[in-house]
Structure 1
Amino acid sequence: MKRIFLSVLLFVFVLGLASCGKTSEFDVETQTEIVVGLEAAYAPFNWATPTQNDFTVKLDGQSNMYVDGFDVVMAGEIADALGLELVVKAIEWDGLIPALLSGEIDLIIAGMSPTAERAQTVNFTDEYYRSEQVIVVNTDGNYSNATSLSDFDGARIVAQLGTLQDDLIDQINNVTHLDALNDYPTLTTSLTNQAADGFVAELPVAQGVVQSNPDQFTYISFTEGNGFTVSDADVAVAVALRQEDVTLLALINDILAGISTETRNGYMEAALTRQPQA
C-alpha cells in the first residue's frame, strides 16, 4: 500500500533522528494524551475539513480545522481504549517518520504500509486494513476498458511522490513513467488535463476519487496474475511507533484484535460516504 521512501539520504537522516530523538518509553499510566501524525490529505483514510461532525478531531495548531477519515476513526478507537485524549497533527508524508523519531508525535496512523525498509527505524503494529493496487483512468480515455497491466503498454502513468505506487509503475511494459506528484488532488488534475493516462492508487483512495468524479474517472482492478506483483506488506496498513515503545505496541495490537474486519470495513465504507466531494 502506502508507501516507500526513495531517498537513501532521507534514510540516513531518520537514522540520525533516532539517535537524538525521544528515547524513553511511552508510559500509558502517566500520559494524558497520545499524539497521532497523518497527512490530512489522503481521503478516505484522512482529510482536513472546516466542518465539525461526530467523527472529526480538531487539527492541532490549526484554528477552525478538523480532520476526518478512516484513520481518524481508528485513532479514536485506540486512544479511547488506552484512556488517553487524542491529539492529531497534520504532517507532510516525508516528515511523518522524522516527526515520530523526534518525539513530535507518538504514532503514525496514515495509511502507511509496514515495509522492511521502514521497519529498520520504526516498529509496526499488526495490520489495521488491507487493500489492493489499482489504476485510476479517465472514463472516456484509451484505457477505460483495460483488464491487465499489459493493456497499459505505452501508457503515461504517474503516482504520488515517495510511495509504493510510484515504484509499481515500472512493472508495466514500455510504460512512460511520469515524474511523481505531491498529492492526489494534483494527480487527479493530471488526468483531467490529459497530462497522464492514469495513476496508481490503493483501492479505497481510487474509490474515493471515482465517487467524487463518477462521470470523469473510473479505476481498473485486476484479477490475480493480471495486476501488480506486491508483497504482503504492500497491501497492508499498520500503525507505526518508535522502536522503544514495546509496551504501547502490545497494547495497540490487543486493541486492534478486538476490532473485527467487518467493523473496520464498515468504518471505511462510512468514510467513503463522508469524504469531500469535488
Structure 2
Amino acid sequence: MRRMFVVLTVLFALTLSACSTSSYEVEEGNTLVVGLEAAYAPYNWTTQAQNEFTVPLSGQPGAYVDGYDVVVAQYIADELGLVLEVKAIEWDGLIPALQAGQIDVIIAGMSPTSERAQTVNFSSEYYRAQQVMVVRTDSSFAAATTLAGFTGAKVVAQLGTLQDDLIDQIPSVVHQTPLDSYNALTNSVLSGVADAFIAELPVAMSIVQSNSNLTFINFTGSNGFTVSEEDITTAVALRKRDTALLEAINGVLAELSVETRDAWMLAALNRQ
C-alpha cells in the first residue's frame, strides 16, 4: 500500500486540526464528505461516463469518480443513512484537508501506518493486497520468481510511497528516481528506461489489462518483499475526535465479507 509521511505535512495537519473541535454527527440525512485522489485505479479514477457505480465529483461539473473506494464509500454511506459527497484531492493534501474540515473521511487506498496514526484514526481494514513487480513481457526479468531474480535491475516506484522504500530489498538494485504517477511509471518500463516498477496487485492488474506489452510477477511465500501488516492493508482515515463515526464505520465494515470485497475489486478492475 502507499505510504508517505512528511514532517511538514503532519505539522500543518496538527495546526489545522486545532482550528475546529466539533465532531461529526452520525445522523440520518447528514452528508459524508469523502476525500480521494480520483487518479489511482482500480481504487479510484475520474471518468466522464456515468454508471450505477459512479458518484459526481464535487466542484467538477460533468466529472464522476468510479472505483473500489467509491463502492466502499457508497456502501458505508447507505448503511449509515448518510448522503455521499466525494472530493478529488491530491494525495499529499488528503490528511491536511481532513484536519481542516474540508472532508470527513479519507477512503483512498491509504495504508494505516504508525506515522499517520499519530494524527488520524483508522478504521478496520477494508482491503488488503500484495506487492508485485511490473515488467515488459519480453524482459529478461519476466521469468523471475524471487527478488533475487531481479538482481541488478533498474527499478522505479511512485514518489513518496511504500513501493519506493521496498526497492532496496532487491539485491544490487539500481534504485531509480521515483516518479509522480503510475502513467509515468508505465511509460518508463515500456520505453526501457526502467526494467520494472513495484505496485499493489490490483493496480498492476489494471495497468497490465490496458497494456498488452506488460505483465506482472506475483511472488509466493517468502520469495517476495518483507512488509508489515500495515503495508498490505487499506483503511478509512478519520479525525481523532470523530470516535462515533469511527465506531459506526467499523460496524459496517464488520458485516462486509472478504468474498464481497474481492468481488467489488474484480468488478472495478473490469470497469476500469
Counterpart secondary structure, 2:206:
helix
Unaligned runs of 5+ in 2: none
Q: Is the 8 A contact 1:18 1:121 kept in 2?
A: no
Unaligned runs of 5+ in 1: none
- The residue correspondences of 1:103-114 to structure 2 (distance < 5 A) are 103-114=101-112
Q: Is the 8 A contact 2:2 2:161 kept in 1?
A: yes
Counterpart secondary structure, 2:159:
coil
Equivalent of 1:270, from 264, 267, 272? 267
1:29 CA drift (Å): 2.2
- The residue correspondences of 1:161-200 to structure 2 (distance < 5 A) are 161-200=159-198
Letter in 2 for 1:150: A
Q: Provide the C-alpha distance between the structure 2 equivalents of 1:251 and 1:52, rounded to a whole number of angstroms.
A: 29
Q: Deviations over 1:218-247 (max 9, x none)?
A: 111111111110001111110000000000
Q: Deviations over 1:116-149 (max 9, x none)?
A: 0000000000000011111111111121111111
Equivalent of 2:130, from 125, 132, 140? 132
Equivalent of 2:237, from 221, 236, 240? 240
1:14 CA drift (Å): 2.4
1:266 CA drift (Å): 0.5
- Corresponding residue of 2:3: 3
1:3 CA drift (Å): 2.0
Q: Is the 8 A contact 2:29 2:83 kept in 1?
A: no
- Corresponding residue of 2:228: 231
1:13 CA drift (Å): 2.5
Letter in 2 for 1:216: N
| Stretch deviating more after TM superposition (158-167 or 238-247) | 158-167
Q: Provide the C-alpha distance between the structure 2 equivalents of 1:8 and 1:28, rounded to a whole number of angstroms.
A: 32
Would you say how many aligned residue pairs link Structure 1 and Structure 2?
272
Letter in 1 for 2:135: V
Q: TM-score, normalised by structure 2?
A: 0.97
1:2 CA drift (Å): 1.9
Counterpart secondary structure, 1:225:
helix
Equivalent of 1:260, from 244, 248, 257? 257
Q: Is the 8 A contact 2:157 2:163 kept in 1?
A: yes
| Stretch deviating more after TM superposition (179-188 or 99-108) | 179-188
- Corresponding residue of 1:101: 99
Counterpart secondary structure, 1:199:
strand
Query: Is 1:82 matched with 2:80?
Result: yes
Counterpart secondary structure, 2:207:
helix
Q: Is the 8 A contact 1:4 1:115 kept in 2?
A: no
Letter in 2 for 1:28: V
Q: TM-score, normalised by structure 1?
A: 0.95
- Corresponding residue of 2:32: 34
1:30 CA drift (Å): 7.4
- Corresponding residue of 1:120: 118
Equivalent of 1:62, from 41, 60, 77? 60
Q: Deviations over 1:19-48 (max 9, x none)?
A: 33x321101227621100111111111000
Q: Deviations over 1:35-77 (max 9, x none)?
A: 0011111111100000000000000011100000000000000
Equivalent of 2:200, from 182, 199, 202? 202
Structure 1 moving runs of 4+ over 3 Å: none
- Corresponding residue of 2:214: 217
Query: Is 1:19 matched with 2:9?
Result: no
Q: Provide the C-alpha distance between the structure 2 equivalents of 1:109 and 1:29, rounded to a whole number of angstroms.
A: 20
Letter in 2 for 1:134: V
Q: Provide the C-alpha distance between the structure 2 equivalents of 1:266 and 1:230, rounded to a whole number of angstroms.
A: 25
1:84 CA drift (Å): 1.2
Counterpart secondary structure, 2:18:
helix
Q: Provide the C-alpha distance between the structure 2 equivalents of 1:18 and 1:167, rounded to a whole number of angstroms.
A: 29
